[in-house]
Chain A
Amino acid sequence: MPLLNSSQRHRVGFSLNGHSVEGDAEPRVLLTDFLRHEIGATGTHVGCEHGVCGACTVTVDGMLTRACLTLAVQIEGCDVRTVEGLATAPDRLSILQAAFRRNHALQCGFCTAGILMSLDAFLREVPTPAEDQIRDLLSGHLCRCTGYTPIVRAALEAAAELASRQPAVQSHHV
């Protein structure tokens, strides 16, 4: 049970979107700031910094996680997934991302990274969701400009497309 001293930076190794990475952080550094400033992964956005807005939502070991309510030192050895890991290649969009684009489900894009991470995790558990399930999930995110209606539409469209392409999807949708 080593004590990590407050005034020192400590090495944190973890998996980010399937790749091993490491960086240094004082115990008080939040996962949001660690990802953005230390690792350089700026896809995860920082909003309210007290767990309400959902902009910083990522997954840690498969669990939906507010990165702003998580310490960098807590993710030692964990599997972290962020919005950068959704598309199969830099010039491609995932099925969910493409559905967002088609449906104008993003405007300024500030809340989008977190919403995509929530939906990506949720649609794997609930492949054929009802609209009210999507709306319940989205209650954990604040969007202040696009409006939720196109986001719900994009989510349902992506779910239908993913369900119809299940075998192909499973192989890259990991």
Chain B
Amino acid sequence: MKPAAFDYVRASSAEEALEVLAKEGADARILAGGQSFMAMLNMRLARPKLLVDIMRIGSLDRIEEIEGEIVVGAAVRQAKLLGWDKLKAKLPLVALALPWTGHVQTRSRGTICGSIAHADPSAEMPLSLVALSGSVHLRSLKKRRRVRAADYITGMMNTARADEEMIEAVSFPVVAEHGYGFREIARRHGDFAIVACAAIVSSKGIRLAVGGVADRPEVRDWPGLSGSALDDALNRFAYELDARQDVHATARYRRELVRRVGRAVIEEAVQCHS
């Protein structure tokens, strides 16, 4: 498995990268950490004419707190965010979910924004960004726009990004005094999740986000449910996700995981909230 031929450009600024995208459109693709996209190239599921490497653009390699949000630049590797000393205090859900993303050996290279750009339905970072109502900062040569994470991911590995745009950063809102829970089931730790669940509990109620089942992360908000009312809500959610059967799991098994793992992460989040 070797990639098909492409030209390669190492951009030294975001503007340079955007100029290439403006000129080449869909023929050009951004290469960041490469932990998803290089595999796509090797399998020839992607065959761009030109790769624009953004990993040596210093201005994109920043984690900043701006107006109540943590803004993570396009060149920030997953290991860097995981090692950020304020992660647990500012983004407890990301601190819980990120160790499930790939392995030590892929987090060292892979970026946060790259995982969101790839938009795999079972990946943890898109799930976390959607659960936290975060947003994606898109930029083209002509303009910048912010898109809500839930609107950015339009389907399985499909996004609202236009050909001439790149993700410049993603932002996770900092929300104090909430409880968080995260768990997933995979065949091997670090593999793609069969089902991944993130729960956020506040005084207003419960939010549950589920990945790995539908074609994108799905979220439900419930006012303070408990007992059998919560079981009923989880059961409805499990069926609404329209689970598919594949080589990893049956649809029925996925629904059961949504009910059980969903319940477990909600209980975890309640405990962490109180």
Interface of A toward B, CB cutoff 8 Å? 1-7, 26-28, 30, 33, 49-51, 54, 57, 63-66, 68-71, 73-74, 118, 122, 136-137, 139-141
Shortest beta-carbon distance from A15 to chain B in Å? 17
Contact status B39-A140, CB under 8 Å: no
Contacts of B189 on A, CB cut-off 8 Å? Answer: 136, 139
B residues 147-190 in Cβ contact with A at 8 Å = 188-190
Contact status B3-A66, CB under 8 Å: no
- B interface bracket (residues with beta carbon within 8 Å of A): 35 or more
Specify which of A27, A51, A57 is in contact with B39 (CB 8 Å cutoff). Answer: A51
Interface of B toward A, CB cutoff 8 Å? 1-12, 16, 34-35, 38-39, 42-43, 49-51, 53, 55, 77, 79, 102-106, 108-109, 188-190
Contacts of A49 on B, CB cut-off 8 Å? Answer: 1-2, 42
Contact status A68-B53, CB under 8 Å: no
Contacts of A54 on B, CB cut-off 8 Å? Answer: 103, 105
Contact status B109-A69, CB under 8 Å: yes
Provide the main secondary structure of the chain B interface.
Answer: loop
A-B contact count (CB 8 A): 102
13 contacts between A and B (CB under 8 A): A1-B10, A2-B9, A6-B6, A6-B7, A30-B3, A51-B106, A64-B108, A66-B109, A69-B34, A69-B106, A71-B8, A71-B38, A137-B104
Shortest beta-carbon distance from B21 to chain A in Å? 13
A33–B103 alpha-carbon span in the complex (Å): 23
Shortest beta-carbon distance from A155 to chain B in Å? 13
A1–B103 alpha-carbon span in the complex (Å): 32
Contacts of A66 on B, CB cut-off 8 Å? Answer: 35, 105-106, 109
Nearest opposing residue in chain B for A117, CB measure: B105
Contact status B38-A69, CB under 8 Å: yes
Shortest beta-carbon distance from A66 to chain B in Å? 6
A3–B51 alpha-carbon span in the complex (Å): 10
Nearest opposing residue in chain A for B19, CB measure: A1
A26–B4 alpha-carbon span in the complex (Å): 11
Contact status A1-B9, CB under 8 Å: yes
Shortest beta-carbon distance from B39 to chain A in Å? 4
Contacts of A71 on B, CB cut-off 8 Å? Answer: 8, 34, 38, 51
Contact status B42-A68, CB under 8 Å: yes
Contact status A140-B104, CB under 8 Å: yes
Shortest beta-carbon distance from B191 to chain A in Å? 8
Shortest beta-carbon distance from A27 to chain B in Å? 4
Contact status B5-A26, CB under 8 Å: yes
Specify which of A3, A30, A68 is in contact with B8 (CB 8 Å cutoff). Answer: A3
